[in-house]
Amino acid sequence: MTTETKTVCFKCGQDVKYYDSVLRIIRTKGRKTRQIKIQRFRCLHCGCIHRNLPDDVFPYKQYEAEIIRGVLEGFITPETIGYEDYPCEMTMIRWKSQIIHFPL
């Protein structure tokens, strides 16, 4: 998990303070899942809450970043051996259509 903390709000630019943490389930290879703790920060000015995501997790995605990158780079396809462990074909198509939003 990233040890860097956010120091300013993305909306208003004011300071943020640690608020709490939440558990998030991440799907990994081999049909396994793991839980990670996500820190949340609250803006002292506007009250907006921000999550501090680690590098191996994309916002709003339940699969780890390595799997998503594999799909986007063409290493993981519906024809991949062990395909049943990966996302369905429609999910892969949707990720490819959203490629501009994922940092590679």
| Domain residue ranges in the chain | 1-54, 58-104
The predicted-structure confidence for 4-62, as pLDDT tens digits, reads as follows: 555 789 889 899 999 999 999 999 887 789 999 999 999 999 999 999 889 889 888 99
Q: Do 18 and 6 meet the contact criterion of CB atoms below 8 Å apart?
A: no
Confidence of residue 80 (pLDDT cuts 50, 70, 90): confident
Closest CA to 16 of 5, 26, 24, 27: 5
> Whole-model pTM above 0.95?
no
Q: Do 10 and 3 meet the contact criterion of CB atoms below 8 Å apart?
A: no
